[in-house]
Amino acid sequence: MICILLVAGHGTVLQTQIKNDNTGLYSHLTGVPKALLPGTGGKKILDFWWETVNVRQLFTEVYLVTNADKYKHYERWATANDFPVENIVNDGSTTLKDQLGAVADLELVIRSRKLDDDVVVIAGDMLCADQNFDIAQVIRFFRSKPGELIIYYEMEEGERSSSRGIVEVCPKTHRITRFLEKPEEGRTVSRLASVVFYCVRRDTLSYMSDFLSLQTRTTERTFGLFWEWLINEKQLDVFGMKLPTGFQLIGQVGLSDYTKWLTHYSTKKQDNPAQPITCRSYARVGLMGNPSDGFNGKTIAMTISNFWAEVTLVESQILALVPHPLNDPTEFGSLQDLFCISRREGYLGGLRLLQATCKKFYQFCSKRGIALTKQNFTLKYDTNIPRQVGLAGSSAIVSATLKCLMEFYNITDNDLPKPIRANFILSVETDELFITAGLQDRVVQVYEGLVYMDFSKKLMDEQGYGNYASMDMSDLPRFWLAYLSDPSDSGRIHSNIRQRWLSGEPVVVEAMKTFAELTDQARSAIKERDWTRLAQLMDQNFELRRSIYTDDCLGPGNLRMVQLARQFGSAVKLPGSGGAVVGLCLDQVRLVEMRQAFQEAGCVFCVISPYIPSASSVGGLH
């Protein structure tokens, strides 16, 4: 039997209230996935469920399904808790809008991992007051019945049946005779509510595909509607078992209800807490011309809202930079945990980016004669941009930090114009941290949206920056993005190209000119809304890059993703330095098929949500 823990949901009332809470008591829980919040007994909620199901005598494998937004949190949790990282399934979604739906998440792990066994499905964010809960009794009950099993509980006074999936159960056979998803008052007298805790036989798993084909909207791909369809319409035998009392679904409670589980934290309030400044910068995809931005070429790039870096600044007595628990770890579950994290991610987290940005900011203001007030602050950051796949994660952190500093010290666009701001961000990385980089990422993250960039030598020599133009983002086609779960074989993209370019090697110099020409053609295609032509140009961009960098430099992982995309007739290219591919598939049916193929190949796949900037603003959370 296989156990699947579902933690892929997006957004809860609790998280919103934690983020908006002004007391500061729960700030350490901001951004923490709900399954990793403290539960009973001082354990994280997911810790309890992992201890409960980590029984080899019951389960041959345990899988965890999460989303791209919170994937890194669960990966770090896994390494610290001896959970197999390879059994974490990323559904590729980053927001509530692009979530797959609970049933689709379950179907994804079953399909992508080719599971062929009975499964237990549990919501990993469900608080259970009974720490001695014995899952073996559930399995035994399931084995004794000729059908599926749903766990339910009796609702307490004050709970409304219209907010739950209600079951009507035969007291003799324990068979569920009817399932009602959030029924209106009066439709049933039952007070028995199901929870996301099910046992499903392998022969029944195929029904999920049939159900998903009937539900075109992700909001309808819920377990409640699935069981309602399976029991009421398909008349399958499904049985019920009552869960021990005393639990809560975190997605359905607010902060006031949750605080009873957090008595070990201080409740002391600060007097007049400073209003935090929170700013975001977004990941980018290079749509055309890259990597010629470092070679006096031209590019078109776009910020995407799927992935972001967020920095928060709060006034404080001393200046403090807060390490990120995932990216700047100082505590580890074990020596093996330290070894695995260091081998996979190296030693360079985001804290150095905050520090270098602050140093450079002070230096810039001093040289420009800008007086800074004597105020100290605390900086912390968060990011869901995958590392080492070329989506400009480092520059996003620098860009967001700069936004916070500008707002905190009231530095205006006149003090630090956008073209200079992009140069500033680049200098933080190249001068302070010795990161090899070009201007494209910094420009598009400053201007935001869809940006055309000309980095010709004449412009760079004369004004110190290129010409940058924002482009119309209305009616854009649906671009997609895929990246490697393990980008270790993504290649050394830059190789020796810079040396060859500086030495004037004709083939490299000519290639950079061709990149610029392709970019101009792509700009025209976008203006004319000629998406077929744009797709052709994207393919040409990749082939040109491949011709000068060679397959050895691009790496087998990148090449496999390109080859896979082309099997479905999609245009495809590298959006950055490697580890990811961006594409344009004009056939929506093939796009769906391609998503499944990428997921089955072990890649993370998502449809891009372009980030369209507002008319304002240096700072603020957009």
Cα 431 from Cα 426, distance rounded (Å): 8
The 10 Å CB-count burial string (b at 16+, else e) for 407-420 is: bbbebeeebbeebb
Catalytic residue among 47, 125, 441, 454: 441
What's the CA gap between 384 and 391, in Å, rounded? Answer: 11
> How crowded is residue 302: how many other Cβ atoms within 10 Å of its Cβ?
26
- Please tell me the distance from the alpha carbon of residue 5 to that of residue 382, in angstroms, as a whole number: 25
CA–CA dist 469, 467 (Å, integer): 7
Element holding 427 (H helix, E strand): helix 418-427
Q: What's the N-to-C CA distance of the chain in angstroms? A: 45
Give yes or no for a contact between 482 and 561, defined as CB atoms under 8 angstroms apart: yes
How far is Cα of residue 93 from the mean position of the Cα atoms in its chain?
A: 6
Residue 361 CA to residue 553 CA, distance in Å, equals 36
Which uninterrupted H or E stretch holds 596? helix 588-600
How distant is the alpha carbon of residue 67 from its chain centre? 6
Report how far apart, in Å, the C-alpha atoms of 366 and of each of 34, 362, 371 are. 44, 6, 7
Nearest to 555 by CA among 392, 388, 319: 388
Q: Is 441 a catalytic residue?
A: yes
Region for residue 95 given its phi and psi (left: phi exceeds 0; alpha: psi -120 to 50; beta: otherwise): beta
CB 510 within 8 A of CB 609: no
Catalytic annotation, residues:
441
